[in-house]
Amino acid sequence: MNILIIGASRGIGLEFARQYRTAGDRVIATARDDAGLERLRALDAVALNVDVANPASINGLARQLDGEKIDVALYVAGVMTRFDARSSPTQPDFDHVMHTNVLGAMQAIAQVAPLVEAAQGRFGFISSDMGRIAGVVSSYSWAYRVSKAALNMAVASAKHDYPAAIFAALSPGWVQTDMGGRGASLSTYDSVTAMRNTLAQLKPADSGRFFGIDGKPMASW
């Protein structure tokens, strides 16, 4: 299979690249710095220099892919700020979170979804339980929460324009990454293994839905 991973320089994205390469798939993966690109090349992945927070960079992705058919695409790139509702987010902080987590994903859809449709493939987006409106227990990282709720809406909306592809928002669970911290309950290996299993089992009727780490659909409101 042809696999595309957008945001694969470390953590969950790099683990996706590692697992798909181990399975014998061809992996095309993006990173925004030289160190990330070298880590991908060490896995024998095709490494592309893309900064999802830079509209000009993400808008050039289709040109770099040059007509590839993509069986599985993944939008993994994401950033978090940890402010709560007792402090206003600065415009630079808000813009960085929303550009990376939402605008970058929406621009990637227009660039990549036609290539996924050509393969009748799957397009997964790494969301978060923190993007669910139901059951919110605090305003911790509220800009991040808002961005993931918006991402879920983008995925649910986009499915209608690309009916030959299956779209899914995926919760990775609480993962031991720079974002999740060392105390998180899941290793990157276990999180990615679970999400790969979910992606492999998706049916057309599942398109646009939000799935938990257990592979079950969840309400995103």
pLDDT for 184 equals 76
Q: How is the chain split into domains, by residue range? A: 2-218
Is 40 in contact with 31 (CB distance < 8 Å)?
Answer: yes
Is 91 in contact with 143 (CB distance < 8 Å)?
Answer: no
pLDDT for 221 equals 63
Secondary structure letter of residue 120 according to DSSP: T
Domain 2-218 maps to which CATH number in 3.40.50.2000, 3.40.50.720, 3.40.50.300, 3.90.550.10? 3.40.50.720
In whole angstroms, give the CA distance from residue 19 to residue 131: 26
In whole angstroms, give the CA distance from residue 169 to residue 132: 12
DSSP E strands in 154-211: the ranges are 166-170, 209-211
Question: Chain-wide mean pLDDT for the chain?
Answer: 94
pLDDT for 220 equals 64
Best CA proximity match to 144, nearest among 165, 159, 127, 167? 127
Secondary structure letter of residue 89 according to DSSP: P
Phi/psi of residue 23, each to 5°? -75, -5
Secondary structure of 50-67 in HEC code, one letter for each residue: CCCCCHHHHCCHHHHHCC
117-127 tens-digit pLDDT: 999 999 999 99
pLDDT for 37 equals 97
Question: Facing residues of 74 across strands?
Answer: 5, 124
Residue 73, H or E segment? strand 72-75
Is 41 in contact with 23 (CB distance < 8 Å)?
Answer: no
In whole angstroms, give the CA distance from residue 164 to residue 143: 33
- CA dist list (Å): 212 to 34, 130, 140, 187: 33, 11, 20, 16
> What contacts 221, CB < 8 A, 6 or more positions away?
132, 133, 134
With a cut of 50, which residues of the chain have pLDDT below it?
A: none
- In angstroms, how far is the first alpha carbon of the chain from the final one? 34
